[in-house]
Amino acid sequence: MNSVRIFRLAQGFVGVLPEGLGRAFFTFVGAIAGSLPTGRVHQLRKNQARLRPGMNEREARTLARSAMISYMRYYYEVFRLPTLSPKQILARVRITGEESIREDIAAGRAFTGALTHSGNWDLAGAWANIALAKVHTLAEKLEPEELYHFFVDTREGVGMRIYPAARGSGSLARLAQDMREATATRSAIFTPILADRDLAVSGVEVDLAGVRAMVAPGPALLAQRTGSTLYPVAISYERLPRSRRKAAGSNWGIRIDILPGIRSQLVPESSGRENAQDGVSANESKAPRSSHLTPSEDVAQMTQAWVSAMEPYLRESLVDWHMLQKVFVSDLDPERLARARARAAEAEAKADRDRGENSCA
C-alpha cells in the first residue's frame, strides 16, 4: 500500500472516530514508533541530544518516545483540520508577544516569520489566516507527488496560499512580490516559513546549542528583499484549560510565541510605510544603507539571530520538535556540504560582480 493511500485512509478513519478515541489511537502509534530502532528515530535522538546533552539511555528513550507521540498528534490534527470550524481553530490557540505584529497589520504591512517543525504549524497557519492576516507560504515538494498535493490541498482548504518549496521554482520571489503588493495596497499578509532545515541545499550555517547546523535562508531573504520584519515564531503543544475545551472540541491546543522582530541592516529602519517600488519608507528613502555587510552576510546575521532567539524555546519544548532529518553539520554528507558551499561561494562572487557592474554603470 503506497503512502498516499495510507494517508487517505487515515484521514477517513480519523473523520469517523470520536476525538478521544482518535487521539488515543495515534498516541499508541506514536509510542510504538518511538520505541523502534529505526533510522529516523535514531536521527531524532541525535538531534535531541545536541540540545539536551548528558541524558542517560533511559531519558533519551523516553524523550524520543514522547516526541513521536507529539509527532503523531500533529498528524492526527492535520487529518482533522479540514473538519474544524473557525471557532474551534481559534479556541485551540493561545498567542503571546503579538503586539508588534498587530502594529504591522494595523499599518497594512506585510511581515514574515521563521518557524521550526514544532507543535502543529498547520494549525498555527490556519489560526493566523483567521486571526492575523492572509497567510502565504511554501510547502515542501514531497514524493510521490500525490502526497505533496495532499498537504497543499489541506492547507489551501483552510485559506492559505501555497507555493512549492523546490529549487528553481521561483517561489521565494513570488512570495516577495506578494509581500510588496500587499504593503503597497495596505493589505497585510503573513509569510511564515518552516526554516529549521535546509531544503534547497543552499542553507545558512549557524550555531544552535553550541553545535553547527544548516538552516534555510528563506525568512531572512524575504526580510532583506522587501524591507519587512522577520519574526521568530515558536510553537508548542499545551493542554487546554477546561474553559476552552468545549469550544475547541479538544483537550489539546498550541501556544504560539511571537519573538522580537529582526530587520535587515541593508534596508533603512522605518515605520513601515513603504514605497511600493523599492520597499523603503517614503519619509526615510534617503537614509544610508549599511556599507559593511554583503547581502549574504546580512542574511547570515539575521538567520543566526532568529535561531538564537528560538533556541531556548526549542530546549524548553524539545518534545515537540519533530525533527527526524539531519540538520547538524557533523551529520551531513561532507561531499554534499562541500558542493553546497561551492555553489554559495559562486553565487556570492557573481552577486559581487553584478554589484560592481551596476555601480560602474
- Regarding predicted confidence, which is higher, 290 or 86? 86
Domain ranges of the chain: 85-360
Cα–Cα distance for residue pair 209/213, rounded to 1 Å: 9
- Surface-to-core class of residue 170, CB atoms within 10 Å of its CB (0-12 exposed, 13-18 middle, 19+ buried): exposed
Query: What mean pLDDT comes out for the span 113-141?
Result: 97
Residue percentage of the chain with pLDDT more than 70 = 86
Cα–Cα distance for residue pair 21/292, rounded to 1 Å: 58
Question: What are the pLDDT digits (tens) for 77-121?
Answer: 999 999 999 999 999 999 999 999 999 999 999 999 999 999 999
The model carries a pTM of: 0.89
**Residue 214 Cα to chain centre, angstroms:** 14
279 pLDDT more than 50: no
Confidence of residue 31 (pLDDT cuts 50, 70, 90): very high
Cα–Cα distance for residue pair 236/254, rounded to 1 Å: 6
Amino acid identity of residue 202, one-letter, is S
Provide the pLDDT for residue 271. Answer: 38
Q: DSSP character for 274? A: B
HSE of 133, CA atoms in CB hemisphere, 13 A: 27
Question: What are the pLDDT digits (tens) for 215-253?
Answer: 999 999 999 999 999 999 999 999 999 999 999 999 999
Question: What are the pLDDT digits (tens) for 12-27?
Answer: 788 788 889 999 999 9
Bridge partners of residue 232, in order along the sequence? 114
Provide the pLDDT for residue 7. Answer: 75
1 pLDDT more than 80: no
Provide the pLDDT for residue 286. Answer: 37
Least confident range of 19-33, 189-203, 275-289, 323-337: 275-289
Return phi, psi of residue 38, to 5°.
Answer: -85, 165
Cα-based distances in Å from 50 to 45, 55, 64, 120, 326: 9, 10, 13, 22, 12
Provide the pLDDT for residue 149. Answer: 87
Helix (H, G, I), strand (E, B) or coil at 141: coil
